Chains A and B, each alone.
Chain A
Amino acid sequence: MNSTAPAPGAAHRLTIEWQRIALPAATLALGILAWDLVVRIKDIPPFILPAPGLVAKTLASDWTLLWNSLVVTLVTTFQGLALALAGGIGLAILFNQSRLIEHSLYPYAVILQVTPVVAVAPLLLIYLPQQGAVLACAWIVAFFPILANTTLGLNSVDRNLVDLFEIYGASRIKVLLRLKLPAALPYMLGGLRIAGGLSLIGAVVAEIAAGSAGAGSGLAYRIAESGYRLNIPRMFAALILLSMAGIAIFLALSVLSHLMLRRWHESAMASER
């Protein structure tokens, strides 16, 4: 099984791997080229649609400003994510231990999730200091996927293993720590991966809402501000930075998930054919 000679088809697999990187890169290059051509041929002014070169130039020239704003937004995102992780897992454990608490609170967790955060943000800005409100928005959207996934994980434990723990007289806390939480880990990490992106969205939405109230220095606020000033190249630059940050968060959480599960969970295993 572990032959050292390359298996037949290895070259083919390598080609596929290579294509997975090359094809999206080619698509991107073509898209940028088309964008540039349209701007040049139609002679579109930069305050309507800046050429990609100008966006890149703006990204470089405004780097300090944009980077500082990005850091502000990312700090909020990670704070929101950390709180969502603690709150989501904590509440899921509470739900798992007590049906009474679950039935009392779960509907409100759902309501928190289905109410659009854009609509909640202005209200939160009235009652909370601005930074608190932004953080609360990031938390609200990130919290539910972690709660829902962890709850599912805690309830998906192998029944026979539960019986085994009972046979050996394991206490509730031991069943939780030694059986339920490890079994729920893949689900939690799945929830975390969704929550990472959502937390960023929550922070951005709240910053934009707060920005319209005239304060803030996050990246989303920069986008709103640039919009008012018709500084469209900077809007694009900030937007690119923002989506880069989203991609980086997703990749980082995927790597984390892979590292934690690679020894034992099906999702992290390479399939051999």
Chain B
Amino acid sequence: MLATNAPPAAATPVVTLHGIAKRFANGTLALDQFDLTIRNGEFLSLLGPSGCGKSTGLRLIAGLGEPTEGAISWSGANPRGRRRNGLDVGFVFQEPTLMPWATVRRNVMLPLELEGVDSGVAKERVAQALERVGLTPFRDAYPRELSGGMKMRVSIARALVTDPQLLLMDEPFAALDEITRFKLNNDLLELWRAIGHTVIFVTHSVFESVYLSSRIVVMTPRPGRVFAELAIDAPYPRDERFRTSAEYAGYCRIASQALTSAMANAS
């Protein structure tokens, strides 16, 4: 294993899900006996068909809703004692989810304002976050003036502005065109390597998950549970050469087969 590889399995867990079940009021069982350990510094993808409960799992980790059964435990939880609900996460939704009435700068500043961060400090952190995603020239633009890819960058800058321990991303690039998605994939990997936060990335794209992740968790259709785990040991930094390599194609084949049998198993 190369030094640049994904963190070893022995890395400290950040958050652990123990036998999570989630049943909605309408009776739908989205998750059942869902066990997962997320390790510090890894890039973990939850891969599964639409409606397999991967987004539900992500929302539970973010503290949006309570599991029907099971527990979520944070190790060294809330290390900075910042968040009132004890969580230290950034969340990127499938849509950019920006406030249309606020400029890019105000949108990115929102998490800091809600946490009551001193405005001088906040301004500096916002400038830094915008610099990271390459949006400094657009800081005074309104969301409607930006392209889909740029809006998503704003959303990522907003999630990173609090410097969270854990970044949760719910199919963030699913609605973008392929060229934009590839570009954002690369930028996201660069950010991850520069900052060193832990990422959980929900996707239904085999190719995207293999390209990005250090580990892929393949989920079964509803009710969602872990079907297979797949370590992607290819070294970072990954770039277009990796995307066209035989190694990448091999991982995609394995992940694809796992996904196919996960779905076959369920039906």
Instruction: Answer yes or no: A108 CB below 8 A from chain B CBs.
Output: no
Q: Could you tell me if A169 and B99 are in contact, using CB atoms closer than 8 angstroms?
A: no
Q: Could you tell me if A167 and B64 are in contact, using CB atoms closer than 8 angstroms?
A: yes
A101 to chain B, nearest CB (A): 24
Q: Could you tell me if B99 and A161 are in contact, using CB atoms closer than 8 angstroms?
A: yes
Closest to B142 in A: A264
Please name all residues of chain A whose beta carbon is closer than 8 Å to the beta carbon of B89 when the two chains form the complex.
167
With A167-B64, A264-B142 already in contact, the answer to whether A161 and B97 are too (CB < 8 A) is yes
Q: How far is the CA of A160 from the CA of B143 in the complex (A)?
A: 16
Residues of B97-117 contacting chain A, CB below 8 A:
97, 99-102, 110-111, 113-115
Q: Could you tell me if A167 and B97 are in contact, using CB atoms closer than 8 angstroms?
A: no
Instruction: Answer yes or no: B189 CB below 8 A from chain A CBs.
Output: no
Q: Could you tell me if B144 and A167 are in contact, using CB atoms closer than 8 angstroms?
A: no
Please name all residues of chain A whose beta carbon is closer than 8 Å to the beta carbon of B110 when the two chains form the complex.
164, 168, 178
Q: Could you tell me if B95 and A182 are in contact, using CB atoms closer than 8 angstroms?
A: no
B152 to chain A, nearest CB (A): 13
> Which among B7-15, B79-87, B211-219 touches the partner chain?
B79-87
Instruction: Answer yes or no: B62 CB below 8 A from chain A CBs.
Output: yes
The contact size tier of chain B is: 20 to 34
Instruction: Answer yes or no: B51 CB below 8 A from chain A CBs.
Output: no
Q: Could you tell me if B83 and A169 are in contact, using CB atoms closer than 8 angstroms?
A: yes
Q: Could you tell me if A170 and B64 are in contact, using CB atoms closer than 8 angstroms?
A: no
Residues of A9-45 contacting chain B, CB below 8 A:
none
Q: How far is the CA of A165 from the CA of B111 in the complex (A)?
A: 8
Q: How many contacts A-B (CB < 8 Å)?
A: 58
With A169-B114, A170-B114 already in contact, the answer to whether A164 and B97 are too (CB < 8 A) is yes
Please name all residues of chain B whose beta carbon is closer than 8 Å to the beta carbon of A103 when the two chains form the complex.
none
The contact size tier of chain A is: 20 to 34
Instruction: Say whether chain B's binding surface is mostly helix, strand, loop, or mixed.
Output: loop
Best-surrounded residue of A168, A169, A178 (most CB of chain B within 10 A) = A168
Instruction: Answer yes or no: B63 CB below 8 A from chain A CBs.
Output: yes
Q: Could you tell me if A167 and B99 are in contact, using CB atoms closer than 8 angstroms?
A: no
Q: Could you tell me if B64 and A166 are in contact, using CB atoms closer than 8 angstroms?
A: yes
Partner of A168, one of B95, B114, B143: B114
Please name all residues of chain B whose beta carbon is closer than 8 Å to the beta carbon of A163 when the two chains form the complex.
59, 62, 64, 91, 93
A contact residues vs B (CB 8 Å cutoff): 158, 160-161, 163-170, 174, 178-179, 182-183, 185, 263-266, 269
Q: What are 6 A-to-B residue pairs whose CB atoms are below 8 Å?
A: A163-B59, A163-B93, A168-B110, A182-B101, A264-B100, A264-B142
16 further contact pairs, Cβ within 8 A, besides A158-B97, A170-B114, A263-B142: A160-B95, A160-B97, A163-B62, A163-B91, A166-B63, A167-B63, A167-B89, A168-B83, A168-B110, A169-B83, A169-B115, A178-B114, A182-B99, A264-B142, A264-B144, A265-B100
